[in-house]
């Protein structure tokens, strides 16, 4: 009898563990900006899950609520504002050891009231550049990377440590480029990389490295993986506060990029290019289908230019990337 009772007790414990691990929580958060374009964040209190971490204000969707109602209620309860206008900008699925959080991120376009910590929590306004000064929830960096990604980025021609590349970087930066991928099939000198990085900082732009050997300690804002490097990895190779991108060409590769927690991907070739005129292209319809099944910001690559940004956005892409026309 005692053995049976212990057996039943163990079964109940196992069921409880399975139920807990399978727990799915629907959460909404709002990106609230002030007149200086700084973003409002709040510090989790000592009695909350992951105390003392900073996050965007928001909370769980209650039974019977839609997302907008939950967002409006949470932002009023937490920071005392009334939402007048907002839009959904991204969804993130994050797995914790004991739960899965489906996070819907809204841009708060208009609101009434002055934000304050109504529940006794600390609040702060921070620019994206200053977020490194805060202990952020794991999901926060994905949100930050998403909202700070531009609609286009430029990829440097593969010219080994060429002064002309630096000149081209400067020209693109002057014209407003905010993200540059420094691409090279040969190893680059660290001083050369640092000089381009400093140039990018002068124009408040970010530099991503795509070089054959990556230590993930180089002076840059992040790294871009080739498709073969991507598939060789089982987990994210760099810190969350750095950007991680990857080149993809099909659904298998985009799915693996999600698995290792990449922050964005490029998909190519969408159209034919002078450098690969005979390459089989994906076309717009197939690219759209891949985007529909991908939860990462995705840049279209191959035959792209700035005039095609609108078309890329219309099928759900983050934007476009290219070497020549961007």
3-state secondary structure the chain: CHHHHHHHHHHHHHHHHHHHHCCEEEEEEEECECCCCCEEEEECCCCCCCCCCEECCEEECCCCCCHHHHHHHHHHHHHCCEEEEEEEEEEEEEECCCCEEEEEEEEEEEEECCCCCCCCCCEEEECHHHHHHCCECHHHHHHHHHHHCCCEEEECCCCCCCHHHHHHHHHHHHCCCCEEEEECCCCCCHHHHHHHHHHHHHCCCEEEEECCCCCCCCCCCEEEECHHHHHHCCCCCCCCCCEEEEEECCHHHHHHHHHCCCCEEEECCCCCCCCCCCCCCCHHHHHHHHHHCCCCCEEEECCCCHHHHHHHHHCCCCEEEECCCC
Please report the pLDDT score of residue 73 as a whole number: 97
pLDDT band with cut points at 50, 70 and 90 for residue 67? very high
Interval 25-29 mean pLDDT: 94
CATH 3.90.79.10, the chain: domain bounds: 20-144
Specify the pTM. 0.84
Name every residue whose Cβ is closer than 8 Å to that of residue 151 and which is 6 or more positions away in sequence.
309, 313, 318, 319, 320
Interval 65-88 mean pLDDT: 96
Q: What percentage of the chain reaches a pLDDT higher than 70?
A: 93
Please report the pLDDT score of residue 181 as a whole number: 97
Q: Which fold has domain 20-144?
A: Nucleoside Triphosphate Pyrophosphohydrolase (3.90.79)
Name every residue whose Cβ is closer than 8 Å to that of residue 212 and which is 6 or more positions away in sequence.
184, 185, 186, 187
pLDDT band with cut points at 50, 70 and 90 for residue 278? confident
Q: Which fold has domain 149-322?
A: TIM Barrel (3.20.20)
pLDDT band with cut points at 50, 70 and 90 for residue 6? low
pLDDT tens-place string over residues 103-129: 999 999 999 999 999 999 999 999 998
Interval 156-167 mean pLDDT: 86
Residues 323 and 326: their CA atoms lie apart, in Å, by 7
Q: What percentage of the chain reaches a pLDDT higher than 90?
A: 78
pLDDT tens-place string over residues 228-245: 999 999 999 999 999 999
Give the largest CA-CA distance in the chain. Answer: 83
Interval 182-207 mean pLDDT: 95
Please report the pLDDT score of residue 19 as a whole number: 46
Closest residue by Cα to residue 125 from 28, 30, 241, 33 = 33
Work out the mean pLDDT of the chain and round it to a whole number: 91
Please report the pLDDT score of residue 122 as a whole number: 97
CATH 3.20.20.70, the chain: domain bounds: 149-322
pLDDT band with cut points at 50, 70 and 90 for residue 3? low
Of 2-6, 37-41, 281-285, which gets the smallest average pLDDT?
Answer: 2-6
Strands 243-248 and 222-225: parallel
């Amino acid at each position: 009898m005692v053995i049976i009772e212990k057996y039943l007790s163990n079964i109940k414990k196992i069921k409880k563990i399975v139920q807990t691990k399978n727990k799915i929580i629907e959460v909404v958060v709002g990106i609230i900006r002030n007149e200086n374009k700084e973003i409002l964040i709040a510090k989790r209190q000592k009695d909350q899950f992951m105390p003392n971490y900073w996050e965007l204000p928001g909370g769980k969707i209650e039974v019977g609520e839609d997302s907008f109602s939950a967002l409006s209620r949470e932002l009023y309860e937490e920071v005392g504002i009334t939402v007048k206008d907002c839009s959904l900008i991204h969804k993130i699925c994050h797995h914790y050891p004991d739960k899965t959080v489906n996070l819907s991120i809204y841009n708060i376009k208009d609101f009434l009231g002055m934000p304050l910590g109504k529940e006794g929590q600390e609040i702060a306004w921070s620019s994206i550049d200053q977020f490194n000064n805060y202990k952020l929830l794991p999901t926060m960096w994905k949100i930050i990377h998403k909202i700070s990604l531009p609609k286009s980025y430029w990829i440097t021609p593969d010219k080994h440590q060429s002064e002309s590349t630096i000149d081209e970087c400067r020209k693109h930066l002057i014209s407003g480029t905010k993200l540059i991928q420094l691409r090279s099939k040969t190893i680059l000198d660290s001083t050369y990389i640092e000089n381009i990085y400093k140039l990018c900082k002068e124009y408040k732009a970010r530099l991503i490295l795509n070089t054959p050997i990556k230590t993930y300690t180089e002076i840059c804002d992040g790294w871009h993986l080739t498709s073969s490097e991507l598939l060789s990895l089982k987990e994210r190779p760099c810190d969350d506060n750095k950007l991680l991108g990857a080149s993809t060409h099909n659904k298998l590769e985009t799915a693996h990029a999600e698995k290792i927690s990449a922050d964005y991907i490029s998909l190519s070739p969408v159209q034919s290019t002078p450098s690969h005129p005979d390459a089989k292209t994906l076309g717009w319809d197939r690219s759209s289908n891949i985007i529909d099944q991908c939860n990462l910001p995705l840049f279209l690559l191959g035959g792209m230019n700035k005039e095609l940004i609108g078309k890329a956005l219309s099928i759900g892409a983050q934007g476009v990337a290219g070497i020549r026309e961007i």
